[in-house]
Every structure is written in C-alpha cells, then in structure tokens.
A and B are shown apart, each in its own frame.
Chain A
C-alpha cells in the first residue's frame, strides 16, 4: 500500500482566516484527512520546524502557504517549505499579493514598530522596544527581524499555484481539494504551473446580478451615504466598487449583499497592476472634462491609494510607498 501523500499548511504573517476557511469546508476536511498525511499544520497539530527540516526535499506533495513575508522567520519558512514541497500554493491574498499586512508598505517599517509600542493606549512608561538580539546569561537569544518591505510569497520563492481571496471561498477550497485528490488518483491533470486556481476567468461583474448601463460617474459616494438601489450597479451610483477589476470566483458575495467589492480576489488574469486598472477605468468614466470639475468628483474618493491597493499593494508594480524605501540614516 502506498503511503498517503503528505500535506502541509503554514501561516506566515496572517490573520488565521485562511485556516478557518479551510475548516469551514466542513466535512470536506475529513477528505483531507482520508487522502493525505498531514505532516505540518501549526494551527491543527504540534510539529516543530526541525521536523520539517528533517524531511526529504520535495517529499511534501502539497503545501498551502498563507500569510505574507513580514519578517525573516516568514522568509525562512517559505524557503524551507519550498525545498520540502513538490507543489507550493500561495494560499489566500496575503501570500498571493500581500493583502492587509502589505498596507504596512505605505510606511517606514521601523516607524511601525515604534508606533506599535507607543500607541495612546499602550502602557509603556519606560519606552521598551523589542530587540532582535539580547544577551542572556544562558547565551544570545534572537527574535525575528522585521523586513523593511512586506513581500509576497513569490517575491521570495518560486510558487506553483495561487489561490486568491481573503480568505479564499470555502467552496473554492473544497473544489481545489477535490482536484488535487483526483490528480493524486491519476484521474485529472494539474493546470499549468503558475496558474490561479480556485477562482474564475473573468471579473466579479460576471457573477454580479445587478443591472448595468453605460457608465458615467458624477460623484463618488460612501456606502452609508446614499440609499443605494439594490438592483443597479453600485459603481453607476457612485459607490466605488472594485468588482470590474477583481477576479471572479467569490460569486460576487459583497455586491449581492449590498456592499461594494473591495477586491480581495485580486486582479483579473494577465493584469500587471491591479490598482492601475481601477485608476484607469474609474477615471475614464468620470463625467467631467475640466480639471476643476474632475478634482471635485475625485475629492469624493478619499484615500485612492487605499481604495485601489487595499489587498495587493505588496504585489503591485510599485510594491510600497516612498517611506518604506527610505535609506537608513548613517
């Protein structure tokens, strides 16, 4: 009897939502257990890094890696799991494109550390900050060092597949699990390396049921600011819905529920910079030709950088803001 193929799931800089999404596949998780030997999954079982290091290279068939590369521990584990895995999947928005932790890239990472230990509600009268190395009587101890810029998984290692979403929809996760089981059983082929799996080929508009007309935007509104027509395209009503640029696969959950798409499924296929697509498309349909009038409409779009790069800043062309690139003063 052949041994069950090995499975691993790891979280780097993440929120835990991806793990919950996997568990949210309900009984499907039993299929995982039935078909795979789960060798490393910090949230679900007790295993140490040295256990992974002891494994043979390429011996883990499938690793679902979620979370971004925030510190050197994340980077270390990414490289380790790449070595030990046959198929490495960038699971979820953090690993694929940086997601919310990636928003730290608008700031200087040192300032982030300072702020975290010095907020208005932080009780830190002696101004204690973490140090990455410290001499103890027993020897020198270390904690991971923060990287200046949060990176995506594929900016650190070679990635085989991407599963977008924050988190990926549980039904999509179930579908991918089924696919891999089929592949293991020789009944299906893996898609080409580098593909996006667990997602559609088009954009959220494809799955959205709202009516669409020729677009003109006369003003930008906040979702709580107007009584939106539930049957009409949100963008046409001035609510900046990122759906037109966001990959389909989530069944347009948010627009159907009455909220604008914020873009957690990442860019459509073949798009180099997600934010650029939104800037270009939103701006093209503004109902104004004079600079002042254009400005007036754009004033309604507070924080365009956040609106357009909420999930994929780290994976975009610019990747970070100027403060993150600032040279360390000598």
Chain B
C-alpha cells in the first residue's frame, strides 16, 4: 500500500535544476574513467531527472573549477549541484563554500566519489566508467531531495580541560593559560610531569630531563589561569563542543592541601616502606604517605590507603602526630567536581610494553635483564642508586652491556609498529652507561632510526665512542653457559645479519628498549570522551597527514603519545598545536555545527518509547504529560539511529533523510535512467 503522505520536495521534474560537474583530477580520474563520456551521458540521460547542465573539467577544486559552478548557479539558476570527483572528506567544504558564494544554500551541493571509490580502485575502464555513471545517477536522485539547511550555532565556553599532565599536556596548558584563558589540568598521578620526569637525560642534547621539565611544571602549578587537579580522574563527559560538562573525581589525598606546607616530615616518619613501581619502575621504595619525586607539583603528598597501617589496623598515625600544621585528614573522601568547559585536550601519554611477554628475553626471570624505564631510573642522579649504573645486587658495575632495540615493537607477535623513540633512547643509554661505567656496549638493532634534528649526529657520536653495533633481532637471552667464558654471564644469542653468522655474546647486563604502547584503559577513555581509538589503542586523529591533533569529535583534541609514539619535541609541538586550535575556537566565541540532526514529528509520535533508550548523548527525552518524545537538536549528534528505529516513522533526519537515501538506492540501481542504446 502506498500513500501520498511523504513530502515530495522534488514534486516536479521541471523545478529541479541540477548541475553535474565531473572532475578529471588530472589523470587520477580521467586515466580510468571516461569523464567526457560520463558528462555527456549525464546531460542526456539524466535530463529528465532535472540535470540541466553537465560539465567536465581538469581540476574542479581549483578556483577556475569552482567558478564554473558559481557561474552556472547564477546564470542558469541551478538549485542543486553534484560534483563527481574525490571523496567528500577532501572537498565537500570547498564546493559547498563555492555554492554559498554564488547564493545557493551549501547543503544543496553533494559530492560523488569517483576517485577513491572508482578510478583509484578499479582497473577495468569500461566497468569503472559504468560505475561512475551509476554513482552519479545515485547522487542526482539523492540531491533532488536535499533541502536547504542552516548550521546550528553554539557558543564556546572559554575554559578548557586538559587531561594528562605530561609534557604535552603541560605545554598545551601553558599556551592557553598564557593567552589569558582558564585551564583545568587533570592528572591521574599525584604529580604532573609524566614519563619525562622519570628520565635522566634527553636525547640528543643530553639535557637533564628534570632541569628542562621542572620549570614548566612549576609554571603550570603556579599559573593563575591553571587549576591543577592532580590525583584526579575524569569520570563522565556530557555535552558537545563549546559546552562540555565534565565530572571529575578528585581522589582523597587524606590531607588538607591548603594547610599542608609540603615540609615532608610525614614521609620521613612514616614507618611503612612500599616498593615504588610507578615512578621508580619497581627499583626503589617510597613510603605509604609520599610525594612521587622531590620536584613534584603540587608539592603535596598522598596517602596510599592500601598500604597504610592506620587503615589496616587502626594504629600508627605517625604522619598525623608529626604534622605541625595538622594537615592530615584520615576520613577525607573523594570529591566529585563538575566542570564546564568549551574544549578538551587529551594528552594521556603511553605505557611501556611489558617485556615479560617476550619470555625468551628473560625479563623478570633472569636477574640482570632491565627495561628502558629501569635504566632511566638507574642513570638518574636522584634515582634509587644515585645515578650509579649497577647490577641488581646494587653494587657491581657491569663490564659489558647489551642494549636490545625493538623489544615488543616491529614485531608481528606483539606490536607491529615502530615505537619511534627506542633507537635514540638506546643510543642515549649506550652513551650514558659507557660514560658512567666504562663498560663495553653492544647495541642490537634492526634499523637505526635517527631521523630528526641532530639525531643522526648523535648516532655518529655514539659510534665514535666505540659502541659495538650488531644488526640482528636477538633470538634469546640465556644464563646457561656453553663454555667457560660464558659462566656467570647473560648470553645474547643473535644472528649478525651483516656478517651472516650466529653469535653468542656474553654480557653482564641486558637493557631491553621496550616499545611504547597505548595506555591499557585507552578504549574506556576514548568511550568516555566520545572519540575513537585504533585497534592498538592510540587515539585516532581527524586526518593522519593534515590534522593530527584534532579528532572526529568536535571540541576534543589529542596531543602527545596518546596519538602515537613520538619524541619530546613532537609531543611539545602537538601540545602547542592543540592549544592554538583551542585558542582559535575561543577567539571565535561561537561555532557552527553541521545541521545533521534528528527531530520527532510530534503528531506522528505515539509515545511507544522505543527510541528512548537508544541515544548515548542523552538527546532524547520523553514527556510523560503529553506522551510524546522530543529530541534536543543541540545534543543530537546526527547518527540517525533513532530515525531508523522509530516504528511509526515519526522521526526524520536532516542531511540523511529517508527520502534522500531511498532515492540514492534507486539511482545507484539506475532505475530512472533509460538504458543507453547498444552500439553493435
């Protein structure tokens, strides 16, 4: 049964004036698709569907190409435009702007992809040309049902949330704060600083990491425009760009931060020693009440409830007894804060690949196999060994050291990607360990990745220092000797590919340059913020080449290793880039959102409530009094799930309406097109 109830926006063929523009894109399209024939075909065989003009041109996205469209709109009175060219993700904005310039509502313009989806992926020219025609027919049928739309304008709250207090997050926070706008910097650990605070020296300059980091940390901690929320985590994010409502759990430090002076007496007197497996990478101790490192910002300790005698037995209370300003608060509860921000930057960093997973390297089983982070702590002058590079016994300096690159990286069994920094880090270790101990250093590598400024020069320096390089992926590290000289040593079994021989190299200490991984909870974090992350857990950027710091979700940006492994200069650059983007948004004071939205036709809604549970953005509300459902257009993200789910067909969606899609299906199947006469 059919019924004339659907609003026919294209009721009369005569009213449609569609312009079809087929782009050659140089030879990118024209080399496979016969664009001239396609344009001629469109003019002839789609005429009765409203096409009044069809042109082909070498580069539609050029200013001349755009002018073609603008001219036709003005002179021929076009009311709909189809551009058959590259992907809409490339140039939809370009052509929509061109239409707007000529006075046509930009949403009356659609792109049909005949490059990424036709000429670049098919080799059969005849089939590709036929498919291009079908795609254009689909586009023409669809655009007949387009309606003029106006973007939704939302105000931008000038406050910003930055999640993650590592170098990228700190950089971002400082840039925005210096520009005069407020920043909330949320950090999960008790202090900001991130992984960089754990390092000793940074490559290639061998700057002391803490020396270059701590001034920034102090700036961030004392900046009037930065609210530092350490030992805190984001629990929930609601809202949309310009208007996010963020729920943050400020975990209880068990002390009053205002009253505490950071004198450190509580840590001194605390009788409970705990292995510090976060900051000290398991090599050192801290107390139950502790600051993670001396230069912590804020310089306020945290009470580790799980390891505290008072919480276990009700006794001790040494910290409270010795605290002069009486800052300890044993019954302090977590605080829930609600923040209103306009933009969010995620700079949550990385975690280290768990080297225990590679059992043949023996980490965790063989005593003197170390990870990169452990070496950072060893070499750090403020570390557990005061900067002395010694074996696990705490006193013996190694005489030979093997440093293994690509542990868990570039490895189909673990992580297939390159972790970007391990080669430079391994060279740094080679230099530092040799400097401190005079040991003979072997570096086992696949390739040496020393691509940035002064990186290769550093490599050459390390070469000149006498470091021995063996090209080969280490097969095994064992303590089972085969000859006298191997007794008491760790033997590295490796194929030296440049020499073409298997080698067994006995060393005292092995350093595993473990790769970088996304944080174990990155998928949950992505879900909380409404962004996507890849299979490996790295947050997905809007465009890998041209927009690495934005995400698909407006108002949420990413910076630093959370987006993928990178070194400190790149993290800083991304943090600054995210800040610049946010500042641009704040400056504009408002933002136009794509008007792809759903709305309920109230007369048709019978209040069945089937749609009510389908919206993750809480855009759908039910009015008990009227027994109808309503959709908030500002919260609606335009996914269209409710449009498809409504059993009464009472929900419509702009931009991807039922009429548009059904027409596109007809068009793709060439239902309304006369078949071309078969040439003998």
Contacts and interface: CB of A to CB of B under 8 A. Distances in A.
Query: Would A and B touch once assembled, by the CB under 8 A criterion?
Result: yes
Interface of A: 90, 96-97, 152, 154, 162, 164, 192-196, 201-206, 212-216, 235, 243-245, 248, 266-272, 277-278, 280-281, 284-285, 312, 315
A215 B648 contact: no
A272 B662 contact: yes
A215 B5 contact: no
A243 B649 CA distance: 13
5 contacts: A96-B1, A203-B647, A203-B648, A214-B613, A277-B649
B416 interface: no
Given A154-B2, A269-B5, A278 B613 contact: no
Contacts of A213: 609
A244 B3 contact: no
A270 B5 contact: yes
Contacts of A192: 4
Top 5 A-B pairs ranked by shortest CB distance?
A245-B647, A206-B606, A281-B647, A244-B647, A194-B4
B609 A162 contact: no
Interface stretch (B324-332, B390-398, B500-508, B638-646): B638-646
Contacts of A315: 1-2
B648 A277 contact: yes
B1 A266 contact: yes
A267 B5 CA distance: 12
A78 to B, nearest CB: 15
Given A193-B4, A202-B603, A284-B641, A215 B647 contact: no
Interface residues of B, number: 30
A142 B609 CA distance: 55
Contacts of A277: 646-649
A213 B609 CA distance: 7
Contacts of B649: 267-271, 277
A244 B648 contact: yes
Given A203-B648, A212-B608, A281-B647, 13 more contacts: A164-B1, A202-B603, A203-B608, A214-B609, A214-B612, A244-B608, A244-B610, A267-B649, A268-B648, A270-B3, A271-B648, A281-B645, A284-B645
A254 to B, nearest CB: 15
Given A278-B647, A281-B646, A284-B641, A244 B606 contact: yes
A205 B607 contact: yes
Contact of A202 (B5, B605, B609, B641): B605
Contacts of B6: 270
A137 B647 CA distance: 59
Interface string B587-610: 000000000000000011111111
Contacts of B607: 205-206, 212
Given A215-B613, A277-B649, A284-B641, A201 B604 contact: yes
A269 B604 contact: yes
A285 B605 CA distance: 17
A6 to B, nearest CB: 26
B650 interface: yes
A194 B614 CA distance: 34
Contacts of A271: 648-649
Contacts of A201: 603-604
B644 A280 contact: yes
B3 A269 contact: yes
A314 B1 CA distance: 8
Specify which of B5, B603, B622, B649 lies most central, judged by the most chain A CB atoms within 10 Å of its CB.
B649
A267 B648 CA distance: 8
Contacts of B647: 203, 244-245, 268, 277-278, 280-281
